[in-house]
Amino acid sequence: MTQTQTTPTKQPSWFSRLAHPGVYLSWSAHLVVPLIVLTIVTFGIGLWYAFFNSPPDYQMGETVRIMYIHVPNAWLSQMVYAIMAVSAVGSLVWRHPLADVSMKAAAPLGAAFTAVALFTGALWGRPTWGTFWEWDGRMTSTLILFLMYIGLVALWSTFNDQSKGARTIAVFTLVGAINIPIIKFSVDWWNTLHQPSIISTEGLSMPASIATPLLVMMLAFTLLFFTLHMVAMRSEILRRRANNLERRHIAQQMEAKQ
Amino acid sequence: MNGFFTIILQDLKLAIRNGGSTITLLTFYISIGVIMPIAIGPDKQLLAALSPSIVWIAALLSTLLGLERLFVADHEDGTLLVFTHADISMPAIALAKLVAHWLITALPLILATPILAVMLFMDWPTFTAIILALLLGSPALIALGGVGAAIAVTLKRGGVIAPILIMPLAIPVLIFGISATNSIAGPGASNAALLFLSAFSLLTLAFAPFAIALALRTAAE
């Protein structure tokens, strides 16, 4: 291999310096513990508000407290997909390894948050609407979103070469991102066609006593996501390094045998 | 532009000479029409009422089943690699493959629909409506299916994953397709659903070739 001449490269921007996987590992290491503490404190405040410092709803009674878990998870189910779509753009346009890692780490988290949203929705629906499940537009599109997350997680597990898989998965993530609004619209259309809307989740006039715990809980769950996402990204980077080391080790052993 | 039609013609020739797969697909399509009445019961009115839904489910499942081979053969014999160096752009090649695939799989299915119509006691207005809806909706199924096939092309265990990925994305086709069939055939005809179905087909046909091209280029690397 001939010595390639060193071209005067321009200084990388602050963003690409921070996004280098190795540099990311070092600066995120300082953030993990503060994030965990912040998440726990916010959850503490939020749960205290939700359970002890907010009134029961005049119609739903105590079951209104399910909302403080349900709504944040429903919100995250969509935010996580948006983060995956942004990472997919980063992965396709700049071929950035950190974007791949972010995309991969977000998929199971999104699936989990969506599952919790669906589950708590069913628990909430039983006492208030009298049924665990209804083919309501919003529930149906959340269920479809859940299926898409599961498909993505399954797709990641089928690729042996994760960096090659990332570009392919990014394509699918973006196709899904274009389709999600269309699916949502079509499901709403289908729902109004099949059944007159008997259930209205609208019109929850929200006094401050309910809005405060809800907003704190949403913040807490969002922090929880960012904490888990960061930890998952760190372990994914380390896992890839460990795999590379293992491969190199095996190669060296093979060489020694010959 | 020449290469575009060459690819379509070549795929058609291969399909005609190999025969098999289209026949298998048609058999699968008609089999669904056979097992549905057995599962539901031979009630004429019930079957007629459910017939648009049954035909759409049969069409969706058959299209997903036919996906598997769309790019696999090209990947195995190295044609994909040749495509990446071809004179015409990769999205154009992807579109040509989609057109050919539509002619090989979707068109025979639509032509076989009269058999299902007879078995399911479909009335004439429903039948004409469903043919129209299938013609307008099947391009979207093929285009989305092509994306799934391109993503799964390098995977050893890719057979099942593509349908799982594509099924949620194909839900709008199913909804607008059945709704279009019912609204044309039923009283108070309106073609809003049919227009949405066409719009969805055009949209997917517009972006699918680019997505497929990206995925195939990664696969060929």
Q: Which of B210, B168, B181, B155 is nearest to B60 (CA)?
A: B168
The span from the CA of A170 to the CA of A189, in Å, is 29
Instruction: Tell me the residue type at A209.
Output: S
The span from the CA of A42 to the CA of A220, in Å, is 5
- Residues of A within 8 A of B211 (CB-CB) are 171-172, 174-175
Q: Are B176 and B193 in contact (CB under 8 A)?
A: yes
The A-side interface with B (CB below 8 A) comprises 92, 144, 147-148, 150-151, 154-155, 158-159, 164, 167-169, 171-172, 174-176, 178-179, 182-183, 185-187, 189-190, 193
The span from the CA of A76 to the CA of A222, in Å, is 7
pLDDT of A9 higher than 70:
no
pTM of the model: 0.86
Most B CBs within 10 Å, among A146, A175, A180, to test the B interface = A175
Q: Do A183 and B157 touch (CB under 8 A)?
A: no
Q: Does residue A168 sit within a domain?
A: yes
Nearest to B147 among A155, A175, A182 (CB): A175
Q: Does residue A254 sit within a domain?
A: no
The span from the CA of B159 to the CA of A158, in Å, is 11
Number of Cβ atoms within 10 Å of the Cβ of A102: 24
pLDDT digit string (tens) for B82-115?
Answer: 888 888 888 999 999 999 999 999 999 999 999 9
Task: Return the domain boundaries, chain B.
Answer: 2-220
Q: Are A106 and A80 in contact (CB under 8 A)?
A: yes
φ, ψ of residue B197 in degrees (nearest 5): -60, -45
- Residues of B within 8 A of A185 (CB-CB) are 172
The span from the CA of B132 to the CA of B68, in Å, is 26
Q: Do B211 and A171 touch (CB under 8 A)?
A: yes
Q: Does residue A5 sit within a domain?
A: no
Establish if B169 touches chain A: CB-CB under 8 angstroms: yes
- Domain total of chain A: 1
ipTM attached to this prediction: 0.85
Instruction: Search chain B and give the residue with CA nearest A193.
Output: B179
Instruction: Tell me the residue type at A171.
Output: V
Q: Does residue A221 sit within a domain?
A: yes
Name the region of A26 (left: φ>0; alpha: ψ -120 to 50; beta: rest): alpha
Q: Does residue A9 sit within a domain?
A: no
The span from the CA of A66 to the CA of A41, in Å, is 20
Instruction: Tell me the residue type at A135.
Output: W
Nearest to B211 among A175, A190, A193 (CB): A175
Q: Does residue A183 sit within a domain?
A: yes
Q: Does residue A220 sit within a domain?
A: yes
As a whole number, mean pLDDT of residues B191-207 equals: 90
The span from the CA of B165 to the CA of A226, in Å, is 26
Establish if B145 touches chain A: CB-CB under 8 angstroms: no
Comparing A30-39, A83-92, B71-80, B120-129, the range with the smallest average pLDDT is B71-80
**By residue range, what is the domain housing residue A80?**
32-196+208-240
Instruction: Tell me the residue type at A153.
Output: V
As a whole number, mean pLDDT of residues B153-173 equals: 83
For residue A134, the model assigns a pLDDT of: 79
Cβ-count burial B94-120 (b if 16+ within 10 Å, e if not): bbbbbbbbbbbbbebbbebbeebbebb
- Residues of B within 8 A of A175 (CB-CB) are 144, 147, 169, 207-208, 211
Q: Do A171 and B165 touch (CB under 8 A)?
A: no
pLDDT of A161 higher than 90:
no
pLDDT digit string (tens) for A100-147?
Answer: 899 999 999 999 999 999 999 888 888 877 778 878 778 888 899 999
DSSP string across A178-247: HHHHHHHHHHHHHHHHHS------------HHHHHHHHHHHHHHHHHHHHHHHHHHHHHHHHHHHHHHHH
